[in-house]
Amino acid sequence: MATQRVTLAKIGGEAAAYIERQFRAWARTKHDHNFPPEVQAALDKLAEALRAHAAEPPIVYFSEWIDMWSMGDLVPALGDQKAVVVTGQRYEACCHHPPIAFKADIIADEPTQESVWLKHRLDEAEDAWEELASDWIIVILREPLGGLVTDDELVSSLQDNPDWLATSTSPS
């Protein structure tokens, strides 16, 4: 478990087909759970490009958030055993073609809060511009940022203002 940035982008049209072909080509290069350095670099470059062009068509939906708890097996593969995750040096990514298969993490017979949030983002993405973008894919990026945030750490953080808040808001 780790703190991670999750990026979900719905891409339509010819760009969707191109990206899907690229993911298939990368998947064929996997050897012993590893991808060649040039594939890792290309994946990281695509991830940065998607993030940099988030507000530009043919990206028709984009959402990014910090997840402090989920395990790396839910994102980016969505719990789909058939999904192929491509691993870069900085990012892990998966390209999903509709229909999207999603298997939520379950604790005590209930989906985890993070799984519920992810499912909402997936539903939003699937609905986005559906009348105009009939051919689409969803790319999910996972960028590990650090260790797991425990409940005790979170509760403790709520007691005081963090140092960065005081320094960023004080008058010069």
Q: How confident is the model at residue 170 (pLDDT cuts 50, 70, 90)?
A: low
Q: How far is CA 113 from CA 4, 102, 136, 161, in A?
A: 15, 15, 27, 25
The pLDDT score that the predictor gives to residue 147 is: 73
Selection from 72, 99, 94 nearest residue 22 by Cα: 94
Q: How confident is the model at residue 130 (pLDDT cuts 50, 70, 90)?
A: confident
Rounded to an integer, the average pLDDT of 53-62 is 97
Q: How many domains does the chain have?
A: 1
How is residue 71 annotated by DSSP?
Answer: -
Whether residue 121 lies inside any domain: the answer is: yes
The pLDDT score that the predictor gives to residue 72 is: 58
Rounded to an integer, the average pLDDT of 137-144 is 96
The pLDDT score that the predictor gives to residue 156 is: 80
Whether residue 163 lies inside any domain: the answer is: no
Residue 69 lies in domain? 2-158
Contact between residue 37 and residue 167 where contact means Cβ atoms under 8 Å apart: no
Selection from 66, 60, 47, 59 nearest residue 117 by Cα: 66
Alpha helices per DSSP H over 53-84 = none
Whether residue 54 lies inside any domain: the answer is: yes
Q: How confident is the model at residue 160 (pLDDT cuts 50, 70, 90)?
A: confident
Q: How far is CA 134 from CA 47, 127, 130, in A?
A: 23, 11, 6
The pLDDT score that the predictor gives to residue 172 is: 59
Nearby residues of 75 by Cβ (< 8 Å), 6 or more positions away: 4, 6, 67, 92, 118, 140, 142
Top-confidence residue, 22 or 155: 22
Whether residue 23 lies inside any domain: the answer is: yes
The pLDDT score that the predictor gives to residue 157 is: 79
Rounded to an integer, the average pLDDT of 42-52 is 98
